[in-house]
Amino acid sequence: MTEKASSIHQAVQDYYASRARTSTSCCGDSSCDNSMYSPDLLSGLPSDVAGFSLGCGDPITQAGLKPGEIVLDLGSGGGLDCFLASRQVGETGRVIGVDMTPEMLARARSAAQRMGIANVEFRQGYLEELPVENESVDVVISNCVINLSPDKNRVFREVYRTLKPGGRFSVSDIVISGQLPDTLRENMEAWSACVSGAIPAEDYVAGLTAAGFVDVKVQAKGTIDDALALIPAGMPYSALITAAKA
């Protein structure tokens, strides 16, 4: 790992460790409206679990999870998407959350134990070196995390490695239209805020394609595909990204 990559990992880890210790909701206070998910999807979850999301969309609904599937969540944070996925895959399925931040893992494991969820496990690791076996998962999900990686092409290759043939990639992430200025790329606070690490949508597609994926699609959240051309250059935006392993 390069010195710059290590610096980015450390800055991001410090930021999210602080959020895990202090935040009770995605906005850091009880007034957060977690409108990324439908109320039905969040129904029955404790408020401190349902309200703690640092994501930018809903990767669960678009993933179309089925009973018995094995799901891998990249950057699982407080565990919300893992808990939502666990309901859909049922007792015969399994969900693996991977996160590099010990404080987030502790929060997620505590919540799982409190809710008695047995088909979810949380592992510590980097997205660039996933602690997951080859061709062992059916679906990979993620919510506003891959943009934080300093080596996204390596992440894409790792995701491809862990998916079974026919497996699916379904994530919500921040991408940009055009390019960010170099000064912003070097800003560690902006990296943690999901801005500096964002890449153009076409680079996301190219990276996934180079890793071996097919049927790669990027759609701005809440828009039709044609609206992508209307997003101003250099503007970060939330997108739903899907792909498949042949």
Q: Does 137 score more than 50 pLDDT?
A: yes
- Rounded Cα distance between 10 and 190, Å, is 13
Q: Whole domain around residue 32: which residue ranges?
A: 3-244
How much is the pLDDT for 189?
Answer: 77
The confidence score (pLDDT) of residue 32 equals: 41
What is d(CA 195, CA 190) in angstroms, rounded to the nearest whole number? 5
Lowest-confidence pick of 29-33, 34-38, 121-125: 29-33
Question: Where is pLDDT greater, at 25 or 68?
Answer: 68
The pLDDT value given to residue 222: 60
Residue with the bigger pLDDT between 180 and 159: it is 159
What integer pLDDT is reported at residue 151 of this predicted model?
A: 95
Spatial distance between the Cα atoms of 175 and 199, rounded to a whole number of angstroms? 5
CB 54 within 8 A of CB 26: yes
Looking at the DSSP bridge assignments, the partners of residue 228 are: none
Q: Give the residue-averaged pLDDT of 205-211.
A: 98
Confidence of residue 8 (pLDDT cuts 50, 70, 90): confident
- Count of domains in the chain? 1
Band the pLDDT of 33: cuts 50, 70, 90. Answer: very low
| Confidence category of residue 135, pLDDT binned at 50, 70, 90 | very high
Quote the radius of gyration of the chain (alpha carbons, Å).
17
The secondary element (H helix, E strand) that includes residue 218 is strand 214-220
Beta bridge partner(s), residue 218: 241
35 band by pLDDT with thresholds 50, 70 and 90: low
Across 64-89, average pLDDT: 97
Q: What is the CATH number of the domain that holds 73?
A: 3.40.50.150
pLDDT at 224 over 50: no
Residue 220 pLDDT: 86
List Cβ neighbours of 6 (8 Å cut-off, separation of 6 or more).
none
Total residues found in the chain within this entry = 246
Please choose, from the candidates 214, 212, 181, 213, the residue with its C-alpha nearest in 3D space to the C-alpha of residue 195. Answer: 181
Strand, coil or helix: what is 101? coil
Say yes or no to pLDDT of 184 above 90. Answer: no
Q: What is the pLDDT of residue 234?
A: 65
Output the pTM of the full model: 0.89
